[in-house]
Chain A
Amino acid sequence: MSEIAIRVEKLGKRYSIGKRERYHALRDTLSDALSAPFRWLRHGGSANGNGAPEHIWALRDISFEVPRGEVVGIVGRNGAGKSTLLKVLSRITEPTEGRAEIHGRVGSLLEVGTGFHPELTGRENVYLNGAILGMHKAEIARKFDEIVAFAEIEKFIDTPVKHYSSGMYMRLAFAVAAHLDTDILIVDEVLAVGDAEFQKKCLGKMSDISRGGRTVLFVSHNLSAVRSLCGTGILLENGELHGRGPIHNVIGEYSHGLARRNGSGMHSQTLGPTLRLGRLKIDPSPVTTGEPLSLTIQLVPRSVTSVKEIALLLYSEYGARVAVLDLRQHGLRNLILDDEPFEFQVHIRRLPLVEGKYRLGFYIATSEHADDYLDVAVLTVRAAESHNGIVPYPADCRGYLDLGFSVEAEVAMQVRR
């Protein structure tokens, strides 16, 4: 048996962008075909029309090796190329250049419940979904009881899944996925399912898998999950490899990179096809617990667009969601933006956060596209000075919130020292 499970050499993936319409209009190709008969047939119908096409390299010049049995976490911001890398390695899409060698059977879980059909029963969906993930019928039959027990839905297994609650649906979907038994497993974000209890169970299952000697590639925004499951990591930035090594170093480098970006207050991150973040100023930075905080945010439209919804997302350093600031509630909705940048400020009167680093992101829905944009900036919170000389517990024991509170007690209690 070979010692290497995955070898990637100078891998690159290019996408064409810049065309406003999502699909080709047939008339364009027809007119191209008339001016250059048969050319479009030879190019598989991918005539680019006149003018140079715009391309974007989602991945470029990626090389790395993964030894057999290693569990690798892939970290990076939105759009860094993580999902593209997983898609290329799981054969969903072809690389544009370079090559990858995969030694062993691959299973990929880029989504849970792929191919679930609402009209079919839980039992039928287990078989269908299993087959889609590449399992054989006999294999599914053998693991069937285990899958159902894991999902905790024994009673409803013969009910159509359209009658399931979303929690039951996700549990069943994850249960099938978790029993995929291949040499190499490629996993994207599937842990974000179900209630807290079930998430814990999923994480437990994942760490069983990762200890079982299999090779795993794992992408998640939950950095604490990545940290606890993976031995080594890969850091991607703008489609390029920016780090490879022990997971602690890779996560450290990633967080460091985020913090560095904060200094100037100048940003240029794309937020979907029609928007760009022009400016994000955190004032003051760092901010002190209990003090006021102002965020100045500038959105720059790249073309006329309508911003339906905006929310600010606040995460802990390791990816747990701490708060959502729903800006719709304050009138920011259905904004038509044309050429002018749009700037607004968000004020928080008393920031009730325990000291530490928090990650800021956006949820933005425009008329064209809706998505989460995580890791736009890092919010650094400093501890307030203690007035009474009692040293607080360490920050990592105190959760996220610093609630203002007062105590009323009878004097008698104070006597017992």
Chain B
Amino acid sequence: MAAEATPVLILRPSTGFLRLHLRDLWEYRELLYFLVWRDIKVRYKQTALGAAWAILQPVMTMLVFSIFFGRLAKVPSDGVPYPIFAYVALLPWQLFAFALSESSNSLVASQNLITKVYFPRLVIPISSVLAGLVDFAIAFVILLVMMLYYGIVPTAAVALLPLFLLLAVVTALAVGLWLSALNVKYRDVRYTIPFLTQFWMFATPVAYPASLVPERWRPLYGLNPMAGVVEGFRWALLGKQHAPGPLLWVSIAAVVVLLIGGLRYFKKTESTFADIV
């Protein structure tokens, strides 16, 4: 024990210089694991249908979309059967929308922890984003069944799927960092989230193909990172279109900017969370 150096911690008012303390975050990886595990464990307790909800939500939405957009409005679907065209997009979309609203409320919901114990506050929004992945995995099984049914064989592009999944998760986290920190101070945020996700879905090619957007506007369209994610999912799994191209690069750039800004704002306000939450 004597051989081990005693860690020294200096507490003082934070200066303008921002550091992420990623090593601190790494120290607390087990807490991150336990919080994710708690969220997953608790989510479907005392529900009659349990984890079936993870399937019901995207499947029902897919049915509604297929009837109204696919059948009645005859929205084009890039030559793919409309149900699977919509479902492939709904998977990352629902992951994103869920992770976004959970993480935005996460700090306020964890008020009792924040005012009583120290740990890197980043753990909280990160854990609520990650907890959404289980629902995604369950709903993904249905997609495999549908692909079998429609006889769709993915191309080699499927290897890039994890990348698009990562992009969806990071987008949710980036926005979640901003909103969760803002929510500590302005409870107005909570009420804007349902609207935000609703508008955002219409701005994302979930129910319609990105090809409806004129070619020259498409890179601009990529400023919505979820457009890149959804197009990426369709390309990687259904393989019938060409790669998303410039739209995707714009999406990645947009996420990087959002994430860095979110981290900065989060770290800057972090020290006051316990005082005002």
A interface vs B, CB < 8 Å? 1-2, 15, 23-26, 29, 44-46, 87-106, 108, 110-111, 114-115, 117, 119-120, 124, 127-128, 131-134, 136-137, 183
Q: How far is the CB of A25 from chain B (nearest CB, A)?
A: 8
Q: Note all chain B residues with C-beta closer than 8 A to A89.
A: 11
Kindly identify, within residues 258 to 277 of chain B, every residue whose CB is under 8 Å from any CB belonging to chain A.
265, 268-269, 271-272, 274-276
B71 interfacial by beta-carbon distance below 8 Å: no
Q: Is the CB of B11 within 8 A of A95?
A: yes
B186 interfacial by beta-carbon distance below 8 Å: yes
**Are A99 and B118 CB-contacts (below 8 A) given A117-B38, A128-B34?**
no
- How far, in angstroms, from A99 to B33 measured CA to CA in the complex? 32
Q: How far is the CB of B247 from chain A (nearest CB, A)?
A: 29
Q: How far is the CB of A187 from chain B (nearest CB, A)?
A: 12
Q: Is the CB of A110 within 8 A of B116?
A: yes
Query: B1-22 interface mask toward A, CB cutoff 8 Å, 1 = contact, 0 = none?
Result: 0100011111111100000000
Q: How far is the CB of A138 from chain B (nearest CB, A)?
A: 9
Q: Is the CB of A136 within 8 A of B2?
A: no
Q: Is the CB of B11 within 8 A of A124?
A: no
Chain A CB count within 10 A is highest, among B8, B13, B118, B271, for B118
Pick from A108, A120, A183: contact of B118, CB under 8 Å: A108
**Are A132 and B117 CB-contacts (below 8 A) given A96-B13, A114-B112, A120-B41?**
yes
Q: Is the CB of B9 within 8 A of A101?
A: yes
Q: Note all chain A residues with C-beta closer than 8 A to B118.
A: 90-92, 108
Chain B CB count within 10 A is highest, among A1, A87, A93, A101, for A93
Kindly identify, within residues 35 to 57 of chain B, every residue whose CB is under 8 Å from any CB belonging to chain A.
35, 38, 41-42, 45-46
- How far, in angstroms, from A93 to B121 measured CA to CA in the complex? 12
Q: Note all chain B residues with C-beta closer than 8 A to A93.
A: 271-272, 274-275
Beyond A100-B11, A101-B8, 11 additional contacts (C-beta under 8 Å) are A45-B185, A93-B272, A94-B14, A103-B6, A103-B7, A114-B113, A117-B38, A120-B38, A128-B35, A128-B38, A134-B119
Total interface residues in chain B, CB < 8 Å: 42
Q: Note all chain A residues with C-beta closer than 8 A to B12.
A: 94-95, 98-100
Q: Is the CB of A136 within 8 A of B30?
A: yes
Pairs of residues from A and B, 10 with the lowest C-beta to C-beta distance, nearest first: A91-B118, A99-B12, A131-B34, A94-B271, A100-B11, A102-B9, A26-B188, A93-B274, A131-B31, A114-B116
Q: How far is the CB of A180 from chain B (nearest CB, A)?
A: 11
Kindly identify, within residues 72 to 99 of chain B, every residue whose CB is under 8 Å from any CB belonging to chain A.
none
- How far, in angstroms, from A99 to B202 measured CA to CA in the complex? 51
- How far, in angstroms, from A93 to B275 measured CA to CA in the complex? 7
Pick from A44, A110, A137: contact of B117, CB under 8 Å: A110
> Can you name the residue of chain A whose Cβ is closest to the Cβ of B115?
A92
Q: How far is the CB of A122 from chain B (nearest CB, A)?
A: 14
Q: Note all chain B residues with C-beta closer than 8 A to A115.
A: 112-113, 117
Q: Is the CB of B46 within 8 A of A104?
A: no
Q: Note all chain A residues with C-beta closer than 8 A to B119.
A: 132, 134
Q: Note all chain B residues with C-beta closer than 8 A to A132.
A: 31, 34, 113, 117, 119
Q: Is the CB of B185 within 8 A of A133?
A: no
Q: How far is the CB of B165 from chain A (nearest CB, A)?
A: 26
- How far, in angstroms, from A108 to B6 measured CA to CA in the complex? 18
Q: How far is the CB of A54 from chain B (nearest CB, A)?
A: 15
Q: Note all chain A residues with C-beta closer than 8 A to B185.
A: 23-24, 45
Q: Note all chain A residues with C-beta closer than 8 A to B38.
A: 117, 120, 124, 128
Q: Note all chain B residues with C-beta closer than 8 A to A128.
A: 34-35, 38
- How far, in angstroms, from A102 to B41 measured CA to CA in the complex? 36
- How far, in angstroms, from A95 to B9 measured CA to CA in the complex? 14
- How far, in angstroms, from A117 to B117 measured CA to CA in the complex? 16
> Can you name the residue of chain B whose Cβ is closest to the Cβ of A137?
B30
Q: Note all chain B residues with C-beta closer than 8 A to A105.
A: 7
